[in-house]
């Protein structure tokens, strides 16, 4: 009840503050509407809490109200309660106090270690991919991911005790000392094909540009004369770091991005603040549909100045700027304050959240509403739909059979059972499991009673159910049975048909177990179509330069 009174008092204070504001501003019709609705909300909130038949949690009720209100705006305007502040800080800084491991739910809700970070407290304590977490400091977390996640973070240097069960079934108790975990923005970089610096940038935290600069410096010492910056699956981060990363390749005092908002103070122009690292080195930027925000600024700037080629697929299309603002009681609001525009003056925002469909959904901006712009060298580019690559590389989708196996965590669980059967993998790039493993995998799937059914089979079952309700099942029974037999191929046929895909997935699983996230990246590069395309263009000076000139 005390909490409820405190919240109500807060609403009344807000009500009075807005009342005063309303009478101080000229043309105050809008502020009167705010005042009126705050009054309605405050009285409604009070009456619901006082009169509803069941006891209510006023904090939970208020949180639902706030989040429902913000959902009508855009997905990036977010409220953080006091216990969510640490997650918001991690998002912006890449730092948190924890064990340094990804955990998740697998195999029917079991809380398992998915991937310990290299040289993390988790790895040093002996935690491995596939370990199940049973309890933390005596608190049972079996089947309770949220409880486990909350218990695995805390003050640096504090020690927690974990009861874990290994993939082989043996239980053990281990102590892990929590540490300040820093998530690197550049988890991997290497020299490809003699002189191409490959740099994987996964986020734009406060250290992103310094990490890219450091990787570039090291690789140039090794002989790099060309650069491949991988921004695929990079959801963005700090605007200032997008400017700084661009500045590595763009001269000092060049415009990078302009923000335009409703309030005058939100309108700003950001220019490169210092001398570039290298203005001449050929650059290829890799992007895809998960490259967003700060990633799109960097990709768009490089394209607008004709400074490098873009390879991959159209980016996400998030051209909105957020600012985090403190609220009372140690809560925060991350609110969209402006849209950003890259040097050609185009916006990359793909969705207009202010205009919604009749059903409340939002749609992509129509091609008919897109506007053509020019790069510095005269190439034509378009706004309103993300950044288009200069060289499109279509995504190669896995077969439905392999996707079904991934969805059911079959490769992960197989890795648990055969962890000790695989030889030590020394050279990740060229390693491939022998085909005999496919037979072992097939037998294991059979033991697990894995059933693969196509989407068409699911539709047939729906039809059969409908026919039974209509009393016509006898008519369709034989026909449906024959169709199901035709569609549901035997397991040996499916394994043989998709053997290359399956062998790659199995190889990746065991590489990940022995070499963690670095192994994942190195192995993926082995058959990466976008990387191969970028290498092809970077290796052909004439073609590279032609791509940066206007089409005749």
Instruction: Give me the pLDDT at residue 196, please.
Output: 97
Mean pLDDT, rounded, for 538-545: 96
DSSP-derived letter for residue 399 is P
Instruction: Give me the pLDDT at residue 1, please.
Output: 47
Q: Which residue has the higher pLDDT, 93 or 255?
A: 255
Distance in angstroms (rounded) separating the CA atoms of residues 451 and 453 = 6
Instruction: Give me the pLDDT at residue 275, please.
Output: 97
Mean pLDDT, rounded, for 1-12: 53
Residue 105 predicted with pLDDT over 80:
yes
Interhelix angle 499-525/400-407, rounded to 10 degrees, is: 70
Instruction: Give me the pLDDT at residue 490, please.
Output: 80
Domain residue ranges in the chain: 2-71, 95-182, 220-319+338-395, 400-452+490-533, 455-487
Instruction: Give me the pLDDT at residue 38, please.
Output: 84
Tell me the pLDDT band of 459, cut-offs 50, 70 and 90.
Answer: low
Instruction: Give me the pLDDT at residue 256, please.
Output: 97
- pTM > 0.85: no
Which residues does residue 95 pair with via DSSP β-bridges, in sequence order? 182
Instruction: Give me the pLDDT at residue 90, please.
Output: 61
Alpha helices by DSSP H, 72-178: 85-93, 121-125, 145-151
Using an 8 Å Cβ cutoff, are 76 and 336 in contact?
yes
Highest mean pLDDT among 75-89, 200-214, 320-334, 378-392: 200-214
Mean pLDDT, rounded, for 28-44: 81
Mean pLDDT, rounded, for 176-183: 86
| Structural element, H or E, at residue 140 | strand 139-140
Using an 8 Å Cβ cutoff, are 87 and 80 in contact?
yes
Catalytic residue (one of 293, 295, 315, 344): 293
Distance in angstroms (rounded) separating the CA atoms of residues 517 and 428 = 12
Mean pLDDT, rounded, for 293-317: 96
**What is the dihedral sign for C-alpha 543, 293, 277, 193?**
negative
CB 486: neighbour CB atoms within 10 A? 9
Instruction: Give me the pLDDT at residue 502, please.
Output: 96
Residue 96 predicted with pLDDT over 80:
no
Using an 8 Å Cβ cutoff, are 514 and 425 in contact?
yes
Q: Are strands 95-98 and 179-182 parallel, antiparallel or unpaired?
A: antiparallel
Residue 368 predicted with pLDDT over 80:
no
By mean pLDDT, which of 66-75, 231-240, 439-448 is the weakest? 66-75
Instruction: Give me the pLDDT at residue 331, please.
Output: 86
Tell me the pLDDT band of 233, cut-offs 50, 70 and 90.
Answer: very high
Residue where the block lists tokens 């991350």 = 334
Instruction: Give me the pLDDT at residue 58, please.
Output: 83
**What is the dihedral sign for C-alpha 60, 65, 68, 74?**
negative
- Residue 318 annotated among the catalytic residues of the structure: yes
Distance in angstroms (rounded) separating the CA atoms of residues 159 and 137 = 9
**How far lies 316's CA from each of 380, 386, 428, 432, 483, in Å?**
20, 6, 31, 33, 40
292 three-class SS: coil
Average model confidence (pLDDT) across the chain: 86
Nearest of 423, 431, 395, 413 to residue 520 by alpha carbon? 431
Residue 455 predicted with pLDDT over 70:
no
- Residue 268 annotated among the catalytic residues of the structure: no
Instruction: Give me the pLDDT at residue 269, please.
Output: 95
Nearest of 268, 236, 327 to residue 7 by alpha carbon? 327
Mean pLDDT, rounded, for 357-380: 78
By mean pLDDT, which of 194-203, 361-370, 538-547 is the weakest? 361-370
Mean pLDDT, rounded, for 132-138: 95
Nearest of 537, 477, 546 to residue 193 by alpha carbon? 537
Return the CATH superfamily for domain 220-319+338-395: 2-enoyl-CoA Hydratase; Chain A, domain 1 (3.90.226.10)
Instruction: Give me the pLDDT at residue 206, please.
Output: 92
Tell me the pLDDT band of 195, cut-offs 50, 70 and 90.
Answer: very high
95-182: which CATH architecture? Roll (2.30)
Instruction: Give me the pLDDT at residue 218, please.
Output: 98
Instruction: Give me the pLDDT at residue 499, please.
Output: 95
Catalytic residue (one of 318, 344, 383, 533): 318
Instruction: Give me the pLDDT at residue 487, please.
Output: 46
By mean pLDDT, which of 310-314, 449-453, 462-466 is the weakest? 462-466
Tell me the pLDDT band of 157, cut-offs 50, 70 and 90.
Answer: confident
Residue 505 predicted with pLDDT over 90:
yes
Q: Are strands 309-312 and 283-287 parallel, antiparallel or unpaired?
A: parallel
Q: Which residue has the higher pLDDT, 105 or 474?
A: 105
Mean pLDDT, rounded, for 393-408: 92
Using an 8 Å Cβ cutoff, are 122 and 99 in contact?
yes
Instruction: Give me the pLDDT at residue 210, please.
Output: 98
CB 165: neighbour CB atoms within 10 A? 17
Catalytic residue (one of 117, 179, 230, 304): 304
489 three-class SS: coil
Mean pLDDT, rounded, for 179-196: 90
């Amino acid at each position: 009840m005390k909490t409820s009174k405190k919240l109500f008092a807060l609403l009344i204070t807000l009500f009075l503050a807005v009342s005063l504001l309303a009478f101080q501003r000229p043309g105050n019709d809008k502020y009167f509407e705010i005042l009126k609705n705050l009054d309605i909300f405050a009285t409604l909130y009070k009456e619901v809490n006082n009169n509803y038949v069941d006891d209510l949690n006023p904090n939970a009720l208020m949180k639902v109200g706030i989040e429902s209100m913000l959902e009508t705006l855009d997905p990036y305007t977010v409220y953080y309660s006091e216990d969510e502040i640490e997650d918001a800080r991690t998002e912006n800084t890449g730092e948190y106090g924890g064990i340094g491991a990804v955990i998740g739910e697998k195999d029917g809700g079991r809380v398992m270690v998915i991937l310990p970070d290299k040289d993390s407290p988790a790895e040093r304590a002996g935690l491995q991919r596939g370990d199940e977490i049973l309890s933390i400091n005596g608190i049972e977390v079996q089947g309770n991911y949220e409880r486990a996640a909350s218990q695995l973070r805390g003050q640096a240097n504090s020690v927690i005790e974990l009861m874990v069960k290994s993939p082989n079934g043996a239980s053990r108790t281990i102590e892990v000392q929590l540490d300040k975990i820093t998530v690197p923005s550049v988890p991997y970089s290497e020299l490809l094909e003699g002189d191409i610096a490959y740099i994987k940038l996964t986020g734009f935290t406060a250290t992103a540009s310094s990490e890219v600069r450091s990787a570039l410096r090291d690789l140039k010492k090794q002989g790099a004369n060309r650069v491949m910056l991988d921004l695929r699956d990079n959801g963005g981060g700090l605007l200032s770091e997008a400017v700084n990363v661009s500045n590595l390749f763009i001269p000092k005092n060049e415009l990078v991005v302009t923000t335009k908002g409703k309030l005058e103070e939100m309108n700003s122009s950001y220019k490169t603040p210092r001398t570039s690292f290298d203005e001449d080195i050929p650059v290829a930027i890799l992007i895809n549909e998960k490259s967003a925000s700060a990633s799109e600024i960097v990709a768009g700037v490089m394209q607008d100045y004709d400074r490098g080629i873009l390879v991959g697929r159209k980016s996400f299309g998030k051209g909105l700027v957020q600012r985090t603002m403190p609220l009372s009681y140690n809560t925060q609001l991350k609110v969209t304050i402006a849209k950003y525009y890259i040097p050609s003056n185009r916006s990359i925002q793909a969705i207009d959240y202010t205009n919604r469909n009749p059903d409340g959904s939002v749609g992509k901006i129509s091609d008919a509403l897109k506007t053509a712009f020019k790069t510095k060298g005269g190439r034509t580019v378009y706004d309103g739909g993300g950044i288009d690559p200069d060289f499109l590389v279509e995504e190669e989708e896995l077969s439905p059979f392999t996707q079904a196996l991934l969805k059911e965590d079959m490769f992960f669980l197989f890795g648990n059972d055969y962890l000790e059967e695989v030889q030590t993998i020394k050279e990740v790039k060229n390693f491939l499991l022998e085909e005999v493993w496919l037979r072992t995998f097939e037998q294991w799937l059979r033991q697990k009673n894995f059933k693969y059914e196509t989407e068409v089979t699911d539709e047939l079952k729906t039809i059969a159910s409908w026919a039974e309700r209509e009393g016509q099942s006898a008519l369709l029974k034989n026909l449906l049975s024959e169709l199901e037999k035709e569609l549901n191929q035997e397991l040996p046929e499916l394994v043989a048909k998709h053997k290359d895909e399956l062998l790659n997935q199995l190889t990746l699983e065991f590489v990940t177990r022995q070499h963690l996230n670095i192994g994942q990246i190195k192995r993926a590069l082995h058959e990466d179509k976008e990387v191969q395309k970028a290498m092809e263009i970077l290796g052909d000076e004439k073609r590279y330069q032609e791509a940066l000139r206007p089409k005749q």
